[in-house]
Structure 1
Amino acid sequence: MLRTVKPKNARVKRAMKEREPHAHENPKTALFIKTQTTSAILTEAMSDLYSLKKPHGITFNKKNQLQPFEDSSSLEFWSNKNDASLLLVGSHQKKRPHNLIFTRTFNYQLFDMLEMGVENFKSMKSFNINNQVNVGMKPLFNFTGELFDTHPKYQQFKNVMLDFFRGETISSISLAGLSHVISCTVGEQANEEDTPPVQFRVYSIQLLKSGTRTPRVELVEMGPSMDLTPRRTQEPDSSLEKEAYRKPKPVNVPKKRKNVEVDEMGDKVGRIHMEKQDLSKLQTRKVRALKADD
């Protein structure tokens, strides 16, 4: 159940109103949290993902005693304190080595979690490329594989990735503003229980001379590069999910007028309702030839 907090004064009321759902959401902040068992590979992977997320990211340098799937109270506390709805937790265990746990909250309550195992990791430093990610740039995304549309875990992964790197909502973008592409590729399942890894790759977009107004585009891998294998997941609560997907009423929208519509051509069409007419009293043109004889 959602917790309801009554404002104590006008300042708290304004702060709560600022955090209410809006038609156009602000960029989501992500927290990067390390547990006491975070490995060196995860530390470097989270650092590279933080570079892709900046400036809407906060990294915790201190390691924390944390088990997200057993107790999420600490995550909800940090989410509320930092006004962040995205959290990335790194943990390393013998049974589940090199874990990245993508966590989302709604109204500072746990919404869902997705655990991904990291394999074949290559950091940005291992790629000899000068073009690094500019702060605040929105990435292009490419998802290849049928499982992103058919399998629940991969559907959740696609949804989380788009939510994690969404950034600011913009109406247009210049060609020079396209700096990198995030490509996620997954193969076919060998059987129903098989979960093939997602090949997570990041490419730098280089615009080269082509002799025309349109430049020649080349993709150069810039890192990070890793294979992400789905592991444990936690689905959102039904009531919380319903509330999270509810869209607020749009503001400054003109009130719909009754019996007035706009057709496909953009013309305004109206419907008029008139009282019942008595045609026997209708005034018509007087013609001598039709006049009755006395």
Structure 2
Amino acid sequence: MTVMKRVVKPRTRRAKRGLEHRAPKITENTKQCLFFYGTKTSDSVRQCLKNFYSFKKQDGKYLQKKKRYLPFEDILPIEHLSQKYDASLFCTASHTKKRPNNIILGRMYDHHLLDMVELGLENYRALAEFKNEKISAGTKPCMVFCGTQFEDVTEFRKLKNLLIDFFRGVEAQAVRLQGFEHALQFTAIEGKVLFRSYRILLKKSGTRIPRVELEEIGPSLTLSLRRNKFASEDLMKRACRQPKQLKPKKVKNINRDVFGTKLGRVHMTKQDLGKLQTRKMKGLKKETNDKKENSESSNQEASASGPVDVDQ
């Protein structure tokens, strides 16, 4: 028995635009993120969820309706929300006796779970506790990762990849220096991640290069790793596949180093040093064939006549 897949046909122009927005593209839309929490939460995780949402207002959706979400036990309700709002990222909060102040970050591929990480919230200070000027909404952050665990430990390395995907926002080819005002620092130490948020201040230095200062604006928190569910290598490879149109054309013998410097290898044929152009001097000037023949014939006649007596 075969099941025919229902084809959705738009009846209005608005529905047609919505289907075109959701359709696959060569360059995908900015990833949307869903923020929601379960029936039991604490003030800390609710405030943390709102602070994260303030960083992603441009491409986020905050759901205030409480519902019992258990991603590690049943992911189907979250996959349904992902398909409904066309979202690829989600952040949910909960609080239980077994796992207090719990935050789960996850992402989807084709509206199905790709991977997610459960984090414990500690030493939390909200945005409102820092009495200073905040950044403007929608600012693209600069992310700094400190600690060898982000490179050596598999869980931290995959967590780093998830955090970059979660906070990076709109993809930009170039960034204006004056609009570069937000920095997020993640420090891995003793199995935990310290999260800090700074406002970048560009002050006068007397030269063309400004003097950079950092002012902490919050939130400030410590995250500890709990449960995780990472994607398999095959699924991750399929999710990261790029279309042929976006792949750069490979140029032979040209590559780039870690700093982006273009390096090339030049292949030359074997050179004939006899035809090498040198500085034009009379001593290095080549004789013509006629002069060579005349000089050779005169030398032969002189040798045949024998020695000549100068006194005669």
TM over 0.5, shorter chain: yes
Residue 200 (1) aligns with residue 202 (2):
no
Structure 2 CA distance for partners of 1:120 and 1:14, relative to 1, 3 Å: same
Alignment of 1:179-258 (within 5 A): 179-188=181-190, 196-237=191-232, 239-250=234-245
Alignment partners' CA distance in 1, 2:10 and 2:65 = 36
| Gap runs ≥5 in structure 1 | 189-195, 270-294
Alignment partners' CA distance in 2, 1:252 and 1:211 = 44
Matched residue of 1:217: which SS?
strand
Q: Find the counterpart in structure 1 of residue 122 from structure 2.
A: 119
Alignment partners' CA distance in 2, 1:215 and 1:242 = 42
Q: Displacement, 1:22? A: 4.0
Alignment partners' CA distance in 1, 2:45 and 2:159 = 18
Q: Displacement, 1:6? A: 6.1
Q: Find the counterpart in structure 2 of residue 137 from structure 1.
A: 139
Q: Find the counterpart in structure 2 of residue 168 from structure 1.
A: 170
Matched residue of 1:77: which SS?
helix
Alignment partners' CA distance in 2, 1:17 and 1:61 = 28
Matched residue of 2:47: which SS?
helix
Structure 2 CA distance for partners of 1:252 and 1:185, relative to 1, 3 Å: closer
Q: Is the 8 A contact 1:21 1:248 kept in 2?
A: no
The higher relative CO (CA closer than 8 Å, separation ≥ 6) is in 1
Q: Displacement, 1:252? A: 11
Higher helix fraction (1 or 2): 2
Alignment partners' CA distance in 1, 2:8 and 2:58 = 33
Alignment partners' CA distance in 2, 1:180 and 1:43 = 23
Task: Please report the RMSD computed on the Cα atoms of aligned residues, expressed in angstroms.
Answer: 2.9
1:41 to 32, 41, 44: 44
Alignment partners' CA distance in 2, 1:38 and 1:126 = 20
Alignment partners' CA distance in 1, 2:172 and 2:93 = 31
Matched residue of 1:181: which SS?
strand
Paired positions, count: 253
Structure 2 CA distance for partners of 1:174 and 1:251, relative to 1, 3 Å: closer
Amino acid at match of 2:105: F
Alignment partners' CA distance in 2, 1:252 and 1:101 = 33
Structure 2 CA distance for partners of 1:166 and 1:5, relative to 1, 3 Å: farther
Structure 2 CA distance for partners of 1:8 and 1:148, relative to 1, 3 Å: same
The higher radius of gyration belongs to 2
Matched residue of 1:76: which SS?
helix
Q: Is the 8 A contact 1:24 1:169 kept in 2?
A: no
Q: Displacement, 1:243? A: 2.3
Amino acid at match of 2:54: S
Q: Is the 8 A contact 1:116 1:230 kept in 2?
A: yes
Residue 102 (1) aligns with residue 105 (2):
yes
Alignment partners' CA distance in 2, 1:144 and 1:19 = 37
Alignment of 1:36-75 (within 5 A): 36-75=39-78
Alignment partners' CA distance in 1, 2:118 and 2:247 = 41
| Gap runs ≥5 in structure 2 | 255-262, 268-312
Structure 2 CA distance for partners of 1:7 and 1:237, relative to 1, 3 Å: farther
Show CA shifts across 1:151-179 (max 9, x none). 12211211111001121121111111111
Amino acid at match of 2:98: K
Alignment partners' CA distance in 1, 2:5 and 2:120 = 38
Q: Find the counterpart in structure 1 of residue 7 from structure 2.
A: 7
Matched residue of 2:245: which SS?
coil
Show CA shifts across 1:212-258 (max 9, x none). 2221110011000000000000122455333212211216999x9xx
Alignment partners' CA distance in 2, 1:150 and 1:6 = 47
Q: Displacement, 1:135? A: 1.7
Amino acid at match of 2:175: I
